[in-house]
Amino acid sequence: MEPRIIIIDDEIRTLAAIETELMLCGLDTVKTFASFDEARGDLLDGIGELVLLDINLPGTDGISGLKEIVAARPELPIIMITGNNDLRMAVDCMKIGAVDYLVKPLNLPELLEAIQGLLDQNGKCTDTTKSDKTSLYYPKEGASLLLEIKRLLFEEKLFRDPELTSDSFSKMIGSNRSYLSRIIALHYKTSFRNLLNTLRVDEFKRLAAMESNRIYTIEAIAIDAGFSGRGTFTEVFKRTTGILPAEWMKSWNSK
């Protein structure tokens, strides 16, 4: 029987812990690799229904590996795992195509909930008598909501609406503010507001770098990126990047 889950991590203890927990939950068709280079053949041959991919790997690193998988199998769900709690790295992984980003030491119930939700969504649910233990920790719809959050924020860019709030967004995804905040905190290690502002800062940089936008003021571009005004934008931009927007623009224009 072909493996359903591919795990790629150079830490033997991490591999063993995840594989054991998955087997206890009935997901016993698991294949592990210590590097992406070892796993590449199986992945490109279409093996596996879900991938757990470490970022820091010998040889081809996890980010490069993520790009390869997305290019070859864009439908394959990929969960990134790392020892680095970096919000910007998490955002970058989501933009490339990862569906989740988890920080070591891994919270195994959280990981199991994410895996089960992704397999359920693809119509490939395991035996519920074996996987019910994950429901003791989080509702099963959590992983599905994560995908909807990713679609609305990272793909449709609803963060560009300056009036977007956790209340209005939670209604869009059919949830409530407290559960939305819980999911954001667990998977992005930040608040909903901080996640929006991080995405807005990145969007400002993208828009400001476009030649066609050179005719617009900093404030106009910031508002287009989702900020309500120059004051809020300047405060958030400096807190996020460590410099003022005008300084960043000057540095960019001098390139």
- With respect to residue 184, please indicate whether it lies within any of the assigned structural domains: no
- With respect to residue 65, please indicate whether it lies within any of the assigned structural domains: yes
Instruction: Report the first-to-last Cα separation within the chain, whole angstroms.
Output: 54
What pLDDT does residue 227 have?
Answer: 96
- With respect to residue 218, please indicate whether it lies within any of the assigned structural domains: yes
- With respect to residue 97, please indicate whether it lies within any of the assigned structural domains: yes
Assign 3-class secondary structure to the chain.
CCCCEEEECCCHHHHHHHHHHHHHCCCCCEEEECCHHHHHHHHHCCCCCEEEEECCCCCCCHHHHHHHHHHHCCCCCEEEEECCCCHHHHHHHHHHCCCEEEECCCCHHHHHHHHHHHHHHCCCCCCHHHHHHHHHCCCCCHHHHHHHHHHHHHHCCHHHCCCCCHHHHHHHCCCCHHHHHHHHHHHHCCCHHHHHHHHHHHHHHHHHCCHHHCCCCHHHHHHHHCCCCHHHHHHHHHHHHCCCHHHHHHHHHCC
What's the token pair of residue 18?
């995840």
Q: How far apart are CA 209 and CA 3, in angstroms?
A: 44
Strands of the sheet with 30-33, listed across from one edge: 30-33, 5-8, 50-54, 78-82, 100-103
pLDDT per residue rounded down to tens, the chain (255 residues) = 566 899 999 988 888 888 877 776 677 688 999 999 999 999 999 999 999 999 999 999 999 999 999 999 999 999 999 888 888 888 889 899 998 888 888 877 778 877 877 877 665 444 433 333 333 233 445 567 778 888 899 999 999 999 999 999 999 998 888 778 877 877 777 889 999 999 999 999 999 999 999 899 999 999 999 999 999 999 999 998 999 999 998 888 776
We report the CATH number of the domain holding residue 215 as: 1.10.10.60
- With respect to residue 145, please indicate whether it lies within any of the assigned structural domains: no
What pLDDT does residue 33 have?
Answer: 93
Asked whether the CA dihedral 186, 51, 55, 87 is positive or negative, the reply is negative
What pLDDT does residue 134 have?
Answer: 34
- With respect to residue 175, please indicate whether it lies within any of the assigned structural domains: no
Q: Give how many domains the chain has, as a whole number.
A: 2
What pLDDT does residue 148 have?
Answer: 87
- With respect to residue 92, please indicate whether it lies within any of the assigned structural domains: yes
What pLDDT does residue 7 have?
Answer: 94
Q: Which of 92, 117, 132 is the last residue of a domain?
A: 132
Q: Judge contact between 122 and 75, C-beta under 8 A.
A: no
What pLDDT does residue 133 have?
Answer: 35
Q: Do 24 and 127 lie in a common domain?
A: yes
Q: Which of 78, 98, 132 is the last residue of a domain?
A: 132
Expressed as residue numbers, the domain containing 9 is: 5-132
What's the token pair of residue 59?
């040889």
User: Which residues, in sequence order, are bridge partners of residue 100?
Assistant: 79
